[in-house]
Amino acid sequence: MKKILHKKIVIPAVAIIIFLSTTAFKNDFFEIAKQIEIFTTLFKELNMNYVDDTNPGDLMDTAIKSMLDDLDPYTQFYNEQDVESSRINNAGDYTGIGAKVLTLKDKLVIVEPYKNYAADKAGLKAGDEIIKVDNVIVADFKDDAANLLQGAAGTEVNVTYKRQGKTNSVKIIRESLEIKAVPHYSMIDDKTGYIVLRKFNKKASAETLGALRALKNQGAQQLILDLRGNPGGLLNEAVNVTNIFVPKNQLVVTTKSKVKKYNKTYYTKRDAIDTEIPLVVLIDGRSASASEIVSGALQDMDRAVVVGTRSFGKGLVQRPKPLTYGTQMKITISRYYTPSGRCIQALDYWNRDENGKATRVKKENYNEFKTRNGRPVFDGGGVQPDIEVEFAKQTPITKAILNENLVFNFATDYYYNNTLEDLKGFKFSDTDFKNFKKFLKTTGFNFETKTEKALSEAMTIAEDEELEGIIKSEYHNLSTTIQAYKSNAIDGNKVQLKSLLTDEIIKRYFYSEGLYTYYTANNPEIKKALNVLNNPSEYTSILR
């Protein structure tokens, strides 16, 4: 009797659940089909009847991007050229002129010619402004003009560029270029190895492993892994890099999604190369995604001391989905969590403020987690270093200066007005810094703080409410105080600005290879890492 009663209850319940879930699916499908049909008819009518000629491709591109703008910035649509660029970035191979290029509205700027590759051999320098590629004027090219420089190895491209006010032309023979995940490794002293890992492409773990073995053969007994400026890349490579230093079958990262098949746990699959070597990982505000998986996992396992500044805070995972006509979409499918259970995503793109901007998780809302040894770590805002190098944290004014490429532009002028033959003897002097401040004035540089903007908006509201007379004097006093801060902010950030200027200038003369060599002797974060490694009791106490 109980079995019959159980069946009478369970079977209808299951039927109801199936019916409701099927109905929900049908409703979702109907809504999607309905909206697509509305858009299709609108698109057709617009192209047929609008008073001026329209470009269907441009309209659709705008529509897609506008739709995705309401989501997170990592969910993106890729056209055919974008798909190829993504493939190059992940695979580590590239065919073109061999230079890092910045695409601006009317020109392409050479950011860095790679040593001994095509652009370098043709005489191009950082700061050169490409205005024409073959017969195509860059300012008239609507797509990413950097694609014009790519082509099959051995083919020729004619480049017209401006340098220090003069227009020049040069023919460049394109060639294949291997984009290294590990552009540099060396011994800092007789027992400390240093590895720079710049991106997580398909070769990241193999190159890191090769560098470690080479350094151990040279006598390395302790190691600094530099992830500063590393924007991330392939998740599985982050797991593999972590695996170099931790044993087999250790949890590295978990991904959680509304789609069950994307809920995954990633464990180390191989025997580690070295689970004992003292390790310091360097991170900064540009270390993101896969870099945060590695640094967060090694921190959670108490396997490494993390030094630097708080990382970017990208705890979102993307997956490419092929579309028609060779296009592709990269979709955020899940969030990732470090072994302690924390998600270090910093921005909330789904609960925006009144201006439509993503909100940052407030510090008081961070949740505490524990490392394997019981040390407190927190979610909500990137990986917090065990040892923070305060001066390396970018301030609003240094960000504003960098965003306007003023450090880069000053370094260009410096290069053409100064001779530098000895890397060891270089020092960015106080006189040089005074010249930089003069340079900033000639550019008309001015930046608006968030406080300044908020005050201005408050005054506008006060005027609407006819309260400006009451708060006018207080507003004036606050504005005066902010202006005084801004006028002193350059000197207040002197140490950081001198460091940024030094880095950029050294690259002009000695390429990235020279910069890494300079780092090993002079960089404050590396010096801090060395101090920790050379003090075993401090190293051990941090991890306990």
Supply the pLDDT for residue 126: 96
pLDDT at 318 over 60: yes
Supply the pLDDT for residue 468: 73
Place of tokens 């959680």: 256
Homologous superfamily of domain range 93-178? PDZ domain (2.30.42.10)
Catalytic residue (one of 132, 203, 314, 507): 314
pLDDT at 279 over 80: yes
- Looking at per-residue pLDDT, the higher value among 317 and 226 belongs to 226
- Looking at per-residue pLDDT, the higher value among 25 and 368 belongs to 368
Catalytic residue (one of 205, 287, 289, 340): 289
Supply the pLDDT for residue 347: 86
Per the CB < 8 A criterion, the answer to whether 91 and 201 are in contact is: yes
User: What tens digit of pLDDT does each residue of 17-75 get?
Assistant: 444 445 544 567 788 889 889 989 999 999 889 988 888 888 888 888 888 888 888 89
Per the CB < 8 A criterion, the answer to whether 340 and 374 are in contact is: no
DSSP string for 411-423: HHHHHHH-----S
Supply the pLDDT for residue 455: 81
User: What tens digit of pLDDT does each residue of 171-208 get?
Assistant: 999 998 888 999 999 999 999 999 999 999 999 999 99
Residue 300 tokens read as 């959670």
3-state secondary structure of 493: coil
pLDDT at 500 over 90: yes
The dihedral of CA 18, 21, 27, 32: what is its sign? negative
The CATH fold of domain 184-388: 2-enoyl-CoA Hydratase; Chain A, domain 1 (3.90.226)
Q: Which of 122-126, 147-151, 517-521 shows the lowest mean pLDDT across its residues?
A: 147-151
Region of residue 432 (phi > 0: left; psi between -120 and 50: alpha; otherwise: beta) = alpha
pLDDT at 405 over 70: yes
In eight-state DSSP terms, residue 510 is H
Supply the pLDDT for residue 87: 62
Tell me whether strands 328-337 and 251-256 are parallel, antiparallel or unpaired. antiparallel
With cut-offs at 50, 70 and 90, classify the pLDDT of residue 6.
very low
Supply the pLDDT for residue 90: 55
Give me the helix-helix angle, 2-49 and 56-69, nearest 10°: 140
Q: Quick one: which H or E segment has residue 121?
A: helix 118-121
Tell me whether strands 222-226 and 279-283 are parallel, antiparallel or unpaired. parallel
Q: Where are the beta strands (DSSP E) in 299-409?
A: 305-308, 316-322, 328-337, 347-348, 359-360, 368-370, 376-378, 387-388
Distance CA 149, CA 388 (A): 41
Supply the pLDDT for residue 19: 45
Q: Which of 79-88, 212-221, 312-321, 366-375 shows the lowest mean pLDDT across its residues?
A: 79-88
Average of pLDDT values for 353-379? Answer: 86
Extents of the domains making up the chain: 19-74, 93-178, 184-388, 396-524
User: What tens digit of pLDDT does each residue of 96-118 get?
Assistant: 899 999 988 889 999 999 999 99
pLDDT at 344 over 80: yes
- Looking at per-residue pLDDT, the higher value among 82 and 297 belongs to 297
Q: What is the pTM of this model?
A: 0.84
Residue 221 tokens read as 């007994």
pLDDT at 12 over 60: no
Average of pLDDT values for 373-388? Answer: 94
User: What tens digit of pLDDT does each residue of 411-470 get?
Assistant: 999 999 999 988 887 899 999 999 999 999 999 888 777 787 778 788 788 777 777 777
Output the average pLDDT for the chain.
88
248 tagged catalytic: no
pLDDT at 15 over 90: no
Tell me whether strands 108-113 and 99-103 are parallel, antiparallel or unpaired. antiparallel
Q: Burial of 491 by CB count in 10 Å (0-12 exposed, 13-18 middle, 19+ buried)?
A: exposed
Distance CA 77, CA 442 (A): 40
Average of pLDDT values for 136-148? Answer: 85
399 tagged catalytic: no
